[in-house]
Amino acid sequence: MFDEARAPRGAGEVAPLPSWAVWLGALGWWLADALISVSQVRILQRIGEVETVDGALWRMSLVSSLLWVPITVMCLRLSERMPLSARGGVRALGAHLGALLGVVLGRAAFVLLTQDWIGWYERRPQVTDVLAQSVVLNLLPFVLLTAGAHALGLARRAHVRQRRADQLQAQLAEARLQALASQLRPHFLFNALNAVASLLHVDPDAAERMLARLGDLLRQSLESHGRQEVTLREELAALAPYLDIEQIRFGPRLQVAWCLAPDVMEARVPFLALQPLVENAIRHGLAPRAEPGRVEIAAEREGPLLRVSVKDDGVGPPPEGLVRVGGVGLSNLRARLVTLYGPRAGLELRRGTPRGAVAELRVPLDDSPQGEQVAA
């Protein structure tokens, strides 16, 4: 379920409706309104309640209704850009009241200017009478149009939030399956259990610790807390069993260095974001070679962003050609970043200096308007 309390809000949450659809919809609606109005008057004509000339009846009904087409478009666009909400404040309310005043005065002026052509009244009316009638006739339609535009915007935003929440849930489930598949990979389990067997007689404590961490890792993968985002501190705790197993298995061939700024430990990151980066560094950077290697995990604030990097001094990408974009785990992480944060987050893989590879993750810090927590 999407967390409505922290859900992104505002005019930019959904794309504006296409202009052609807005104009076409408004034109169709008000043409239908004109036809209904004419039909009602014709019925009254038949029973002798009203006497009107057909030409004047059609002219007044069509002109009066079609005048509402641009007003309808204006109400819709105004509600998209300046919705009436707690965030919109006095400015949005003033804009809508100004639009209402413009509609009342504009329609009154139109009636006065076209009196001779349309024949709105039997005789030329007083300006004050036209203004008073314009307030009476236009206030309620304007309010209803504005309310309808806001209701449409709310419905569209709710639909987008639900679709986004469903997409995030699917991506999180895929990330969990990918992590679990990685941990249940026969090669990984075989190596881990083989390491346990070799440690049993020479270092029973290390063997016991490795079995415990293997259990932690599998239990952690099977447990579901349903959160899309966790704090960096929690994410590092989730990563710890995997790193412990790999350090015991690789022994002195694997060194892990941490460089974490204290002020970012409570920053939010996507759940299971770090493991594919570290796994990528160990499997593809350090495991293929016999020499000792080092993985450095760093996190720091970079303006409004949190920058997390995983750097290794392994074999790195091939010297020619493009840096590979990563496997299923990294592709899934990229998709989740786009869904959670849009273009303000990113994942980059590049060659290290002087060797190895660097995976760099950037996400908005918590105080950003779109760095939202989503609960399942």
pLDDT computed for residue 248 by the predictor: 82
Per-residue model confidence (pLDDT) at position 315: 80
Q: What is the pLDDT along the chain (376 residues), one digit of tens a residue?
A: 334 434 444 445 678 888 888 899 999 999 998 888 888 887 877 776 666 666 777 888 888 888 999 999 999 999 888 888 766 678 888 899 999 999 999 999 998 888 888 888 878 888 888 899 899 889 999 999 999 999 998 888 888 888 888 777 777 766 666 666 565 566 677 777 777 777 777 778 878 887 887 777 777 766 655 677 888 998 898 888 888 888 888 888 889 999 999 989 999 888 878 888 998 888 888 888 878 889 999 999 998 899 999 999 888 776 655 455 556 677 778 888 887 888 888 888 888 888 889 999 999 986 444 444 443 3
The owner of tokens 């509600």 is 79
Which pLDDT belongs to residue 51? Answer: 67
Q: How many whole angstroms separate alpha carbon 83 and alpha carbon 153?
A: 9
b/e string for 129-143 if b means 16 or more Cβ within 10 A?
A: ebbebbeeebeeebe
280 Cβ neighbours under 8 A, 6+ residues apart: 310, 326, 327, 329, 330, 357, 359
Q: What is the distance between the alpha carbons of residues 248 and 261, in angstroms, rounded to a whole number?
A: 26
- The reported pLDDT for the residue numbered 209 is 80
Contacts of 293 by beta carbon, 8 Å cutoff, 6+ apart: 253, 254, 255, 285, 286, 312, 313, 314, 356
Closest C-alpha among 334, 333, 341 to residue 363: 341
How far apart CA 238 and CA 220 sit, in angstroms, is 7
pTM for this prediction: 0.57
Backbone angles phi, psi at 108, to 5 degrees: -65, -45
- pLDDT value at position 49? 67
Cβ-Cβ contacts under 8 Å for 55 (sequence gap 6 or more)? none
The number of residues making up the chain comes to 376
Say how far apart CA 346 and CA 16 lie, in whole Å: 26
Letter for the amino acid at 202? V
204-222 and 232-250 are packed helices; what angle lies between their axes, rounded to 10 degrees? Answer: 140
Q: List alpha helices for the chain, DSSP H.
A: 19-46, 54-66, 68-81, 89-113, 115-118, 127-183, 186-199, 204-222, 232-250, 274-280, 328-341
Query: For residues 209 and 244, is the Cβ–Cβ distance under 8 A?
Result: yes
Strand partners, 260: 299
